[in-house]
A and B are shown apart, each in its own frame.
Chain A
Amino acid sequence: MNEIIHTEQFSENVFKLVVHAPRIANSRKAGHFIILRIDEKGERIPLTIADADKKAGTITLVVQKAGVTSARLCRMNPGDRILDLVGPLGKATEIHQVGTVLACGGGVGIAPLLPIVEGFKKAGNRVVSVLAARNKDLIILEDEIRKWSDEVIILTDDGSYGSRGLVTTGAEQVILQETVHECVAIGPAVMMKFTALLTKKYNIPTQASLNAVMVDGTGMCGACRVNVGGHTRFTCIDGPEFDAHQIDFDELILRLGGYKNEEKEAFERYSQEQNSQACKI
């Protein structure tokens, strides 16, 4: 259980891990996430499931180095085991036949977008995907997204791949060229905020999938609370997807920084340990 079967480096800081977790592979749906703890001293972090293979009993996770745990995960190799892995958590994405779906993915957010794109395509929708990132290296899973999209638009901040621009540039282009019935946005909070502002202007129902601070992931801690339409909701059990037009993104952005100092200190300690030549016993 929880053995890493395969790893792949997408870019300097983004890695793919395929993990043996047959129960989760069997029961997960688009939109679900897991919580993992690498070892006895590890913290619990949530990661959205990017893909699963029921036959092989594996799930695919995409991790971006951001703190101690993600950095550790990115250094793991096939054959290594993750001590604790629980899921699938959260509510699955509500997938119906609606017509045309605009799927917007920002950076590492493209990974959780993949199963949703697949789901909407399989449900008989026309799917137009807009993928955006800072540069070419950070555009991930392009082939997989293309497999389930009728059209793919790619944008980078620096113009190193696709057109130069932000996700909203591409999204507006689609909205102006055809009728969009529903939009899904996953990526950094700022990217989702501006995507939501854009689709609100055009009155297009939009779901955003949030990645909040969590401890248990089962509703117990309340660290992941988010303001949706003036009410406090828990990302872990009420989400992770919410009506993007109702989310208070400014509060979300502040809350994502809630442990910034502690995380920074921990990362500095971790980097020192990694660079230290001293005996580790």
Chain B
Amino acid sequence: MQNLRNDREQEWRIALRGKMKNKERTEISRVRMPEMDPQVRILYQDREVNSGLDLESARREASRCMDCVNPTCIGGCPVSIDIPRFIKHIENGEILEAAKTLKETSALPAVCGRVCPQEKQCEASCFYPVKLKKDAVAIGYLERFAADYERESGHISVPQVAPRNGLKVAAIGSGPASLSFAGDMIKLGYEVTIFEALHEIGGVLKYGIPEFRLPNRIVNVELEALQQMGVRFEKNFIVGKTAAFADLKAEGYCAFFVASGAGLPRFMSIPGENYNGILSSNEYLTRVNLMNAANSSFDTPVLKGKNVAVIGGGNTAMDSVRTAKRLGAERAMIVYRRSREEMPARVEEVHHAEEEGIEFLNLTNPVAYFADEKGRVSSMRVQRMELGEPDASGRRRPVVVEGSEYDIAVDVVVVAVGVSPNPLIPSALPALKVSRWGTIEVNEETMQSSVPELFAGGDIVRGGATVILAMGDGRRAAAGMHRYLAEQSAMLKS
């Protein structure tokens, strides 16, 4: 906090604040993100929808930020980015400095600038909406701008790392939690290896989030930065199977951070759900994003449907239905049992989906599937729902409207109703305490599990959350593990 205050009192910040009156700042309206035309973008699986701000509009947007004495936005950020400082660097035209500021606390700024739900986090706690009832400063767009500018400039800064301390630690899984953990641990001087089961590094950033929302080349640049800092990646390696924890300890690993994700897709257990053509969003998105199935020069196939129904209302459901549209579906539908207001997907994603001609069948729930003689799904029976009293999640509970069933013709159904924790790690470590949902139990501050040298974070702890919350866990686990290892070595010395 004191650091923040000192930074704010630096001459350039004071001078910048003096350049424009607050009233002038608040009169500027929030910048709009330029987007690719919906009719054009649905023809391509790999064209990014948002095209990013230009320098002029970014600096103008940055000048809206009032550089508050008490920057509440930072409290809304799970990795505590010094938001006013990076934004003021943009206003000052020092974009590379802005990028450096982001990298101090975030291993993946170009990713977060694209996929974070800023409207629920930093931007929700911005002075503008809180006090002025005005649109928040576009912190997310600016974050993306600074990261993209740095990448395209060719002057990519690599954060400073402490001298090696000779201690080896491992991260299991290579998604956002692990990448964030690795970034912090390598800065502290540890030797860090990330073990990944798949053949690509990046976890959900690669297999899950589509190219049109987060291009793989953007992720790769952030991975290269970690590699340059010294992080090692070991692909095609399942800790607990390819080698046991005991084997890795014998190879010198002192502690482990488990971030193996919520990799187990849930299904609804309704009649006919195992017919061909009905698949999880994980399978659908993995085929397209990780295996390049939409490109016929790759060997992996994907089912292309005329009438595709996606069950669910989260970001994964939006990613799936928009992928289906891009693969040529005539009818691409969201089937969701609650109303539009309760959808967990980001507003921006729902808006983009609508622009692209996605149909929304809200307050509708599938109850059974029917198939042709070859076992391929041909129709689904749905029932209408209405909203009753609020449930445990605070959202109004959907209640069945009796006698409202009807059938919809479908040839592909993607089930995106959530995921469960992947059981591979817990099953390899019987001493590890897990909840009855299969998530690993940890101390919320240190992320330490019931096995002292094992820390955990991300979806394997949360059961299904966001990229940025996983990254926050990675940072906390790094701090927790650092403290733990320091205590252990102090004990050894004494």
Contact = CB atoms under 8 A, between A and B. Distances in A.
Interface of A: 23-24, 26-27, 37, 41-44, 68-69, 83-89, 215-216, 218-223, 225-227, 232, 234, 237, 251, 254-255, 257-259, 262-263, 266, 269
Contact of A259 (B199, B275, B280, B303): B303
B198 A216 contact: yes
Q: Which 7 A-B pairs have the closest CB atoms?
A: A262-B301, A254-B375, A221-B283, A258-B276, A220-B263, A84-B199, A86-B236
Contacts of A237: 264, 423-424
A180 to B, nearest CB: 31
A63 to B, nearest CB: 15
Contacts of A24: 242
Contacts of A257: 276, 374-375
B299 A69 contact: yes
Contacts of B283: 215, 221-223
Interface string B249-270: 0000000000000011101010
A227 B275 CA distance: 11
Nearest to A38: B299
Contact of B274 (A37, A68, A232): A232
A89 B238 contact: yes
Contacts of B235: 84
Interface in B102-136: none
Most buried by A among B238, B269, B300: B300
B307 interface: no
A221 B241 contact: no
Contacts of B242: 23-24, 27, 86-88
Interface in B272-323: 273-277, 279-280, 282-283, 286-287, 291-292, 296-303
Contacts of B286: 215-216, 220-221
B302 to A, nearest CB: 8
Contact of B301 (A42, A216, A232, A259): A259
B299 A220 contact: no
Contacts of A216: 197-198, 207, 263, 286
A236 B217 CA distance: 30
B237 interface: yes
Nearest to A85: B236
A219 B300 contact: no
B292 A41 contact: yes
B244 interface: yes
A126 B282 CA distance: 44
A227 B274 contact: yes
B243 interface: yes
B422 interface: yes
Contacts of A69: 299
26 contacts: A27-B243, A41-B292, A41-B297, A44-B199, A69-B299, A85-B236, A86-B238, A87-B241, A89-B241, A215-B291, A216-B286, A218-B263, A219-B423, A221-B286, A222-B267, A222-B280, A232-B269, A232-B273, A237-B424, A254-B275, A254-B375, A255-B274, A257-B374, A258-B276, A263-B301, A266-B299
Nearest to B277: A258
B264 A220 contact: yes
A219 B237 CA distance: 15
Contact of A223 (B199, B263, B275, B279): B279
A133 B441 CA distance: 50
B264 A225 contact: no
B325 to A, nearest CB: 20
A23 B239 CA distance: 11
B264 A254 contact: no
B274 A251 contact: yes
Contacts of A27: 241-244
B238 A221 contact: no
B203 to A, nearest CB: 10
B208 to A, nearest CB: 10
B375 A266 contact: no
A215 B287 contact: yes
Contacts of A234: 264
Contacts of A26: 243
Contact of A254 (B207, B292, B296, B374): B374
Interface string B432-453: 0000000000000000000000
Interface string B202-246: 000001000000000000000000000000000111100111100
Nearest to A253: B375
Nearest to B298: A41
Nearest to B266: A222
A226 B277 CA distance: 15
A88 B276 CA distance: 28
A88 B303 contact: no
A69 B301 CA distance: 12
Given A41-B298, A44-B199, 10 more contacts: A44-B300, A69-B299, A86-B197, A216-B198, A219-B423, A220-B263, A220-B422, A237-B264, A258-B376, A266-B301
